[in-house]
Amino acid sequence: MPGTPHDLTRLRIALTTFFALDGFVFAGWVVRIPAIKQQTGASASALGLALLGVSAGAVVTMVLTGRLCRRYGSHLVTVVCGVLLSLSVALPPLTHSAPALGAVLLVFGAAYGGINVAFNSAAVDLGRALRRPIMPSFHAAFSLGGMVGAGLGGLVAGALSPTRHLLGLTVIGLVVTALAGRVLLRVAPPEPPERTRKDESTPRRLDTRTRRLVITFGLIALCTAYGEGALADWSALHLEQDLHASPGAAAIGYSCFALAMTVGRLTGAWLLERLGQTRTLVSGGATAAAGMLLGALAPTLWAALLGFVITGLGLANLFPVAVERAGTLAGPDGVAIASTLGYGGMLLGPPAIGFMADWLSLPLALTSVAALAATAAVIGFGTRRATAR
């Protein structure tokens, strides 16, 4: 029967696999952005607008995915979006202009946004059934997948064209989706455990007060996703253009960031137990702000890489804590709202940094990540009563 310990373990492994696949495919795409920029002949601002397609597609889809999950189930939506994500990642290298790139990135972004809401909703349900803080471990798998994807991208950047590289990701993605998707389609979502009292683990109705709290956590996710998206889209170009790194070395920048995110999230449950949600949010935002100032303004490659590592450690648990808290407060609707706001940070990030890079410089534009990380710390402190245990 669904909900047995064996089924819950299988679900956790399958969901972890989808989180890792999502990070792997996304990182594989972002490390090829410099090559595709050259292929399309786009300026920094034109590239920023094209990259807007990923976030625009994601945010629009996220608005609808909550309803799709309620109607068809988060497991089925996760599998369908996994197929679409794997297929659409092969499209960008087929374009030769910024408008065409933006159009195909809308499709890629739609699949990316859909799978993020779907598997986060499934993860919240599983966490409630297990009665353990497991969300950081899922996001650690995403970061680990990103680290592997970026590392592999750096290794093959000089040997494979973007077309062959991303087509390889399509094949890998379809195979992994077929294997992990079988578990999600065969095992029903777990029923929440019986409760003898009304407590914070029971989702509230989405009344005005609850909606305000969910939006507040969504703003923290927004500030975090802005930083993650900025490093994904612009870190390789910053290292290659401003610090004269080779394409392979430039790709390592995002890999270092993803590795730090992975380490931070693997220790997330331990950190939350000792610091609590408020101190985790505040200290994480402050650490990320300091790290990004170093990463953006450092005069050498190694100092910039150190800055990316510190930023990754700081940002690591902000998004999963914010989304899990929103899901605990309001169930799938809370996850959808917080995720939509969160990935709205990616919607703002690419064009904002692109325009600021044209007006000022890319290093100065990247300091906006530090500003928003500090903002997340301030908002996190403001939610100290809502997050108190």
**Vertex 169 angle, CA 164 and 174, to 5°:** 130
Burial class from Cβ neighbours inside 10 Å (0-12, 13-18, 19+) for residue 64 reads: middle
> What's the pLDDT score for residue 203?
55
CA distance 170 to 375: 37
- Displacement of CA 380 from its chain's centroid (Å): 19
Residue 200 has pLDDT above 70, yes or no: no
pLDDT bracket for residue 159 (50, 70, 90): confident
Residue 181 has pLDDT above 90, yes or no: yes
Which amino acid appears at position 168 of this protein?
G
> What's the pLDDT score for residue 143?
79
Give yes or no for a contact between 330 and 207, defined as CB atoms under 8 angstroms apart: no
What percent of the chain has a predicted confidence (pLDDT) above 70? 92
Nearest-10 crossing angle of helices 74-88, 98-130:
150
Residue 75 has pLDDT above 80, yes or no: yes
Lowest mean pLDDT among 171-175, 197-201, 306-310, 355-359: 197-201
DSSP codes joined into one string, 100-156: HHHHHHHHHHHHHHHHHHHHHHHHHHHHHHHTS--HHHHHHHHHHHHHHHHHHHHHH
Burial class from Cβ neighbours inside 10 Å (0-12, 13-18, 19+) for residue 350 reads: buried
> What's the pLDDT score for residue 276?
82
Contacts of 369 (CB under 8 A, 6+ apart): 226, 227, 230, 231, 288, 292, 296, 311
Residue 198 has pLDDT above 50, yes or no: no
CA distance 289 to 238: 18
Mean pLDDT calculated for residue range 31-58: 84
pLDDT bracket for residue 86 (50, 70, 90): very high
Residue 202 has pLDDT above 60, yes or no: no
**pLDDT top residue among 84 and 248:** 84
Residue 204 has pLDDT above 60, yes or no: no
Give yes or no for a contact between 288 and 301, defined as CB atoms under 8 angstroms apart: no
> What's the pLDDT score for residue 25?
95
> What's the pLDDT score for residue 205?
58
Fold of 5-189+206-387: Growth Hormone; Chain: A; (1.20.1250)
Show the tokens assigned to 80.
């369908």
> What's the pLDDT score for residue 326?
84
What percent of the chain has a predicted confidence (pLDDT) above 90? 39
> What's the pLDDT score for residue 385?
67
pLDDT bracket for residue 191 (50, 70, 90): low
pTM, two decimals, is: 0.77
Closest by CA to 265, choosing from 97, 8, 16, 38, is 16
> What's the pLDDT score for residue 313?
95
Task: Give the DSSP H or E segment for 333.
Answer: helix 318-359
pLDDT bracket for residue 208 (50, 70, 90): confident
CA distances (Å), origin 94, targets 88, 167, 293, 326? 11, 11, 36, 39
Helices (H), 267-317: 268-297, 301-315
CA distance 360 to 341: 27
Other CB atoms within 10 A of residue 85 CB? 29
CA distance 289 to 223: 11
Show the tokens assigned to 345.
């940070």
pLDDT bracket for residue 31 (50, 70, 90): confident
Burial class from Cβ neighbours inside 10 Å (0-12, 13-18, 19+) for residue 343 reads: buried
**pLDDT top residue among 219 and 151:** 219
**pLDDT top residue among 28 and 1:** 28
Closest by CA to 82, choosing from 42, 117, 46, 131, is 117
Lowest mean pLDDT among 94-103, 184-193, 203-212, 351-360: 203-212
Mean pLDDT of the chain: 86
CA distance 171 to 164: 11
Show the tokens assigned to 168.
């390889």
> What's the pLDDT score for residue 194?
52
Other CB atoms within 10 A of residue 198 CB? 8
**pLDDT top residue among 44 and 275:** 275
Residue 349 has pLDDT above 80, yes or no: no
Closest by CA to 359, choosing from 38, 40, 45, is 45
